[in-house]
Structure 1
Amino acid sequence: MRLYQKIIIGILSLAAVAVIGLTFYGMKALDEVNDVVNNINQLANRETKKREVAVSIEDREPFSILLLGTDVGALGRTGQGRSDSMMVVTVNPKKQQSTIVSLDRDIMADMLDGGTFDKLNHAYAFGGVELSMDAVEKLLDIPIDHYVILNMQGLSDLIDAVDGIDVDNQIDFTLEGVHVPFGQITLDGKTGLAYARMRKDDPDGDIGRQRRQREVVTKVIEKVLSVDGVSNYQNILKAVEKNSKTDLTWDQMLDIATNYYPAFNNIEQEQLEGNGQLINEIYYQILGINELLDVQNLLKEQLEMPTSETLEIDPQYEYSYNGFIGNQFYDDSNTQEVYVSGDTDPDDDY
C-alpha cells in the first residue's frame, strides 16, 4: 500500500478538527469529537517496552508514534491484513521539529520469536499492532510510545470529506478499472485512492508513487484546515472514526493540537530502505549497518536520547543488516537457528 501519509491525515486532522471544532461549534463539537476519540481508542497490550516510565505528552516531552496503514477496508479486502505502509514520527515541541521516517514494508526484520526474520509488514499480520510496535522498536533502537492505524478506505473517505482535491496529473492511467486522466483534474475518493496507489505505470516506480502520496496528503490537510474543512468537520470525523484506531486519548490529542502543533510545520523526512535481494525466491530489503545507525541516531536526537557510535546487534543476525546473503540463510531443517520465512505477499501494490 505504501500509503503511510494517510496516517498523518488521521492524527493531524483529528487534532486540528478538535481545536477548530471547539472554537466554532462549542459544546456540540466537543461531544462529537470526544465520542469519536472514545470509539477509535484501543490500548496496545505490550508485555515489554523500551521505556520504563511512559512519556508525558501533558508535560511536553518529545515522543514517538508508529503510523500504520493497513491493506484492508476497501476493494473488498477484510481480515487482519498487513501494515503495508509504516512510518515512525518523532515530535519535539521544544525544538518545534518533527522527523518522519518511512519504513519500507519489505525490510527484513526480527519477528522476536527466537529466530524468525520476515518482512517488516508481516509483523502486523502475525501479532497485530503490539508486534509491529515491538519489531520497529527493536529495529530502530528507540521507544515507540504510541500508534495510529488507518486502513486504506480512510484516504478515500477523507478526500470525499473535503469535497475532493485538485492535482496536475502527469500520467494517464487506469488502475483496477478506475481511470485517472492526464492534466488538471479534481480527484474524488475513488480516483484519489488510485492516484496515490498507482506504481507500475510510473517510470519512477515507488519514488513516483511516494511523491504523489505526499501531494495528496498535503492537499487534503490544507483543505482540512481551510474554511471548507471546518464546515465539513463532521464528515472528516466520520472518515477517521470508521477507518482508524489509536492508543492516544482525548486529552493527549488536545495537548498535541495545542502544544505540539508548531512542530508539524518543521518536518524532516527520511526513507529507511536497503538493497533489494531475493531470498528463497522472496523479495526483501536488506538494510545497511551505517544507514540504519544514521537513522537511529537521527531519531534519538529528536527524542533527546544518547546516540550510539556502533549498531548494537547480535553477531549472528548481522547479515540481516549488511546485505550479505551467501550461506548465512538456512531453513528450519538445519542447525542454524535463524529462519527466514517464505511467506509471500501477493499484492505488490499495497
Structure 2
Amino acid sequence: MQNIILFILALLLTIGGLSYYSIYRTVAKSVNHMYEPLHRDSKSQDAVIGHDPISILLLGVDERPGDKGRTDSMIVLTINPETKKSTMVSIPRDTRVFMRSKNTNIKINAAYTYEGIEGTVQTLEQFLNIPINYYIKLNMEGFKDIVDAIGGITVNNDFPFTLEGVHIPKGEQHIDGKVALKYARMRKEDPRGDFGRQQRQREIINQIVHEGAQLKSLKNYQGILTSLEKNIQTNLTLDKMIDIQSSYKEAVNNIKQIEVKGDDKKIDNLWYHVVKNETRKDLSKTLRHQLNLES
C-alpha cells in the first residue's frame, strides 16, 4: 500500500517515547527482532540524527507463501529538523525506472522481486538522485493484524465497492483489519486509479496514528508490538527511533505530500507509469533541497 507505513514510524516513536522501564525493555526486544541492516554500497551514509535531515523509505510488500512478492507501495519520506518540514512522496508501483544491476528498465515494484530491499533502495536512490538513510518494510498480509491490535479504525468511504468478496458501503464506518486491507488495496474501481488509492491510504494512516496514540491502544502495547514484530523489518534501532521522536517531532507533524506525475503508457506489451525526465529532475531538486544537498 502506498502510504500505509507512515503510521508504523509514528506508532513506534510514540511507544518508544514512553518512560516506563518495563515497557522500554519490551519495546527494545521487539525492535531488535525487527532490525535488519542494509548490506550494500550506497551513496547514503548514516545521517547524524538530531542535526541532519534524514530520508526514510517506507515499503509495503505483498508477500505470500511460495512467492517472494513485490512492493505494493512505496513512500520516500524526508524530514528536516531545521526547517521543521517533511515531504512524503508516493511512488506509483508501475513507475518505469532503470535498474542498473539488470541493465534494463523495469516497473519499480519489481526491484524487490529481483534484489529485495537492497535492490529497491539502490534503484530509488538512482531514480531520485538522493541518499536513502533508513527503511521500514511492512508485510501487507500482516497489516490487518496491526489494525485489529489497535481496535480497528474509522474511515469515510466516498463510494461503495466490492473487492475479493468484501463489500464496503459509502459513508463513515468503523472497520477491522480485513476490511481495511481491501479498502487500502482497491484501485480498478476507482476513477482516480492509483492516486485515488493513495488518498484512501493516507486516510488510513491518519486514522491509525490517531487510534494508536490513544491511551486505550497503548494499554494494548504488547499486542501492538507482537503484530509489528511479526510483520516489520527496518534498519532503525530503538535508540534512533527515540532520537527521531525527540528531534524531528515538529517536522513529522508538518508533511507536504507529493505525487509523482506521469503518463500511463504501454511499452513492449506492459503498462508503465512513465515519468518525464524533466519531472524527475524537478522532484529530485525538491528532495535534495529538503535534505540540504546541492542541486
Q: Distance in 1 between matches of 2:147 and 2:30?
A: 19
Q: Distance in 2 between matches of 1:78 and 1:250?
A: 31
Q: Find 2:227's aligned residue among 239, 251, 255.
A: 239
Alignment map for 1:12-51 (pairs within 5 Å): 12-19=10-17, 22-23=18-19, 26-46=20-40, 48-51=41-44
- Can you list the C-alpha shifts for 1:84-115, whole angstroms capped at 9, x where unaligned? 21111111111111111111111111211262
Length-normalised TM-score, structure 2? 0.95
Tell me what 1:66 maps to. Answer: 57
Contact between 2:2 and 2:90, CA under 8 Å: does it hold in 1? yes
TM-superposed CA distance for 1:38, in Å, is 0.3
Secondary structure at the aligned position of 1:83 is classed as: strand
Q: Find 2:182's aligned residue among 194, 217, 220.
A: 194
Length-normalised TM-score, structure 1? 0.81
Secondary structure at the aligned position of 1:82 is classed as: strand
Tell me what 2:93 maps to. Answer: 105
Tell me what 2:4 maps to. Answer: 6
Q: Distance in 2 between matches of 1:84 and 1:153?
A: 11
Does 2:165 correspond to 1:177? yes
Secondary structure at the aligned position of 2:173 is classed as: strand
Q: Find 1:274's aligned residue among 246, 256, 262.
A: 262
Q: Distance in 2 between matches of 1:104 and 1:183?
A: 27
Gaps of 5+ in 1: 308-350
- Can you list the C-alpha shifts for 1:154-192, whole angstroms capped at 9, x where unaligned? 431222111111222232222111122233321001111
Contact between 1:87 and 1:103, CA under 8 Å: does it hold in 2? yes
Amino acid at match of 2:43: K
Query: Aligned pair in 2 of structure 1 residues 114, 237: CA closer, same or farther (>3 Å)?
Result: closer
Q: Find 2:201's aligned residue among 170, 189, 213.
A: 213
Amino acid at match of 1:56: V
- Can you list the C-alpha shifts for 1:296-347, whole angstroms capped at 9, x where unaligned? 011101110011xxxxxxxxxxxxxxxxxxxxxxxxxxxxxxxxxxxxxxxx
What count of residue pairs does the alignment treat as equivalent?
295
Q: Relative contact order (C-alpha < 8 Å, sep 6+): which is higher?
A: 2
Tell me what 1:329 maps to. Answer: none
Query: Which structure: greater strand fraction?
Result: 2
Q: Distance in 1 between matches of 2:102 and 2:195?
A: 34
Contact between 2:2 and 2:198, CA under 8 Å: does it hold in 1? no
Q: Distance in 2 between matches of 1:171 and 1:9?
A: 24
Tell me what 1:331 maps to. Answer: none
Alignment map for 1:143-182 (pairs within 5 Å): 143-182=131-170
Amino acid at match of 2:201: Q
Tell me what 1:136 maps to. Answer: 124
TM-superposed CA distance for 1:216, in Å, is 1.0
TM-superposed CA distance for 1:208, in Å, is 2.1
RMSD: 1.5
Does 2:292 correspond to 1:304? yes
Q: Find 1:56's aligned residue among 43, 48, 53.
A: 48
> If you compute each CA radius of gyration, which structure gives the higher value, 1 or 2?
1
Q: Distance in 1 between matches of 2:69 and 2:165?
A: 23
Tell me what 1:344 maps to. Answer: none
Gaps of 5+ in 2: none
TM-superposed CA distance for 1:246, in Å, is 0.3
TM-superposed CA distance for 1:77, in Å, is 4.8
Q: Distance in 2 between matches of 1:207 and 1:132?
A: 21
Q: Distance in 1 between matches of 2:95 and 2:79?
A: 24
Secondary structure at the aligned position of 1:209 is classed as: helix
Contact between 1:91 and 1:303, CA under 8 Å: does it hold in 2? yes
Tell me what 2:279 maps to. Answer: 291
Contact between 1:103 and 1:273, CA under 8 Å: does it hold in 2? no
Secondary structure at the aligned position of 1:5 is classed as: coil
Q: Distance in 1 between matches of 2:119 and 2:220?
A: 36
TM-superposed CA distance for 1:201, in Å, is 2.3
Secondary structure at the aligned position of 1:184 is classed as: strand
Amino acid at match of 1:65: I
Residue identity (%): 39
Amino acid at match of 1:50: K
